[in-house]
């Protein structure tokens, strides 16, 4: 049970500040990025009117997420923001699925990854809001219904980041802890592979979709 | 074997983790069951929309699960960090 709490770290001391790198997370993120690059390469290498299977899957992704973004935002903004949405979903999907392969672990099991994506979504949403409405109206939104509600509105914005990133992190970490405990109890009979598929494929897909969906919703709340 | 302050703190943290997980599981359990029940009703009334309803239900359940996940994170913090 020791590998539950251990996080492999690599510390550099630079100008009196400790720079801590979570080596496993960084390495797994590289694996996911490499898999995505290979997938993109295979999908576009021989792009033709009669698509090969990989291109077919990629077109499915693109179509589904373009429609989804177009529903939430308007037509012109969907063109700008849909690459972000599709890329975010595919990265999260691949990283949630990575835990199914033995010896590999999900990069989303680390709070730093999910919090990074949450903060990225926060900044993008607010940038989109400022760009669409202008700084004056953007600031006046905080003083809606009455002026003394401003602190509550600010806290509400930060709570979105916390909730979206802790949801993904907790789901993935909780799933892997349950797998670990059950395989400790039954010594790897039938149950752990089944649980791995459930938490890796089913929960991982749903959580990746929910994360992407909520990022889109936060952007659309800001621009409306 | 004398019981010291550290042991008491450990015991309190374990009890707290159990309570946090137990009480925190009530809300998501009720909420997700309610969502599933309503989805069943809707599918019964409108069976051709089953795919869309199931998808929406799953996303809604995943969102309403988040309070349970918070309590899981708190319980893990209590177990392993305190």
CB count, 10 Å around CB of A103?
Answer: 4
* Domain-embedded: residue B10: no
* Domain-embedded: residue B4: no
Interchain CB distance below 8 Å, B59 and A210: yes
Domain region containing A175? 64-105+114-223
Number of domains composing chain A = 1
* Domain-embedded: residue B18: no
Task: State the pLDDT at residue A108.
Answer: 85
The tokens for A101 are 């392969």
* Domain-embedded: residue B41: yes
Task: State the pLDDT at residue A150.
Answer: 82
Interchain CB distance below 8 Å, A170 and B80: no
Average pLDDT taken over every residue of chain B: 87
Task: State the pLDDT at residue B80.
Answer: 80
* Domain-embedded: residue B57: yes
How many residue pairs from chains A and B have C-beta atoms closer than 8 A? Answer: 36
Q: What is the mean pLDDT of residues B60-73?
A: 85
* Domain-embedded: residue A164: yes
- B1 or A25: whose pLDDT is higher? A25
Specify the DSSP class assigned to residue B81.
T
| H or E segment to which residue A85 belongs | helix A75-97
Task: State the pLDDT at residue A4.
Answer: 60
Q: What is the mean pLDDT of residues B61-76?
A: 85
Interchain CB distance below 8 Å, B65 and A167: yes
Specify the DSSP class assigned to residue A18.
E
Task: State the pLDDT at residue A81.
Answer: 85
Picking from A107, A205, A198, the residue whose alpha carbon sits closest to that of residue B62 is A205
Share of chain B above pLDDT 70, in %: 100
Task: State the pLDDT at residue B34.
Answer: 93
Asked if pLDDT for residue B36 goes beyond 80, the answer is yes
Find, in chain A, the residue whose alpha carbon is nearest to that of B79: A5
Specify the DSSP class assigned to residue A198.
I
Task: State the pLDDT at residue A1.
Answer: 52
User: Chain B neighbours among A 180-219 (CB < 8 Å)?
Assistant: 206-207, 209-210, 213-214
* Domain-embedded: residue B42: yes
Torsion sign over Cα B81, A96, A99, A192: positive
> Mind telling me how many Å the CA of B66 is from chain A's nearest CA?
5
Interchain CB distance below 8 Å, B70 and A170: yes
* Domain-embedded: residue A47: no
Exposure pattern of B32-57 as b/e (b: 16+ CB <10 Å)? beebeeebeebbeeeeeeeeebeeeb
The predicted-structure confidence for A86-141, as pLDDT tens digits, reads as follows: 889 999 999 988 888 877 888 888 888 899 999 999 999 889 888 888 888 888 87
Q: Which of B58, B59, B69 sits opposite A166 (nearest CB)?
A: B69
Residue numbers in A near B70 (CB within 8 A): 166, 170
Asked if pLDDT for residue B59 goes beyond 70, the answer is yes
DSSP, residue by residue, B8-39? HHHHHHHHHHHHHHHHHTHHHHHHHHHHHHHH
Domain region containing B54? 32-82
| Whole-number Å distance between alpha carbons of A207 and A201 | 10
Number of domains composing chain B = 1
Q: pLDDT under 50 in chain A at which residues?
A: none
Asked if pLDDT for residue B37 goes beyond 90, the answer is yes
The predicted-structure confidence for B11-22, as pLDDT tens digits, reads as follows: 899 999 999 999
For residue A83, the SS3 value is helix
* Domain-embedded: residue B72: yes
CATH number of the domain bearing residue B67: 1.20.20.10
Interchain CB distance below 8 Å, B73 and A169: yes
């Amino acid at each position: 049970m020791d590998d539950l709490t251990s996080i492999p770290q690599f510390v550099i001391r630079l100008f009196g500040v400790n720079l801590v790198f979570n080596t496993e997370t960084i390495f797994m993120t590289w694996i996911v990025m490499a898999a995505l690059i290979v997938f993109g390469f295979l999908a576009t290498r021989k792009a033709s009117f009669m698509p090969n299977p990989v291109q077919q899957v990629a077109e499915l992704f693109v179509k589904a997420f373009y429609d989804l973004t177009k529903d939430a935002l308007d037509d012109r903004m969907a063109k700008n923001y849909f690459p972000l949405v599709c890329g975010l979903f595919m990265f999260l999907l691949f990283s949630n699925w990575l835990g199914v392969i033995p010896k590999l672990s999900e990069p989303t099991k680390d709070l730093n990854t999910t919090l990074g994506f949450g903060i990225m979504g926060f900044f993008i949403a607010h940038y989109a809001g400022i760009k669409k409405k202008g700084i004056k109206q953007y600031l006046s939104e905080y003083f809606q219904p009455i002026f003394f509600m401003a602190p509550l509105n600010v806290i509400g914005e930060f709570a979105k980041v916390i909730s979206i990133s802790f949801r993904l992190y907790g789901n993935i970490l909780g799933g892997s802890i349950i797998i670990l405990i059950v395989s400790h109890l039954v010594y790897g009979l039938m149950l752990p592979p089944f649980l791995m598929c459930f938490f890796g494929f089913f929960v991982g897909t749903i959580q990746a979709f929910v994360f992407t969906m909520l990022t889109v919703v936060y952007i659309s709340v800001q621009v409306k | 074997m004398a019981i010291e302050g550290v042991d008491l703190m450990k015991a309190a943290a374990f009890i707290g983790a159990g309570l946090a997980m137990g009480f925190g599981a009530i809300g998501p359990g009720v909420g997700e069951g309610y969502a599933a029940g309503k989805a069943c009703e809707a599918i019964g009334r409108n069976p051709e929309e089953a795919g869309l309803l199931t998808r929406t239900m799953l996303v809604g359940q995943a969102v309403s699960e988040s309070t349970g996940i918070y309590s899981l994170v708190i319980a893990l913090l209590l177990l392993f960090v305190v």
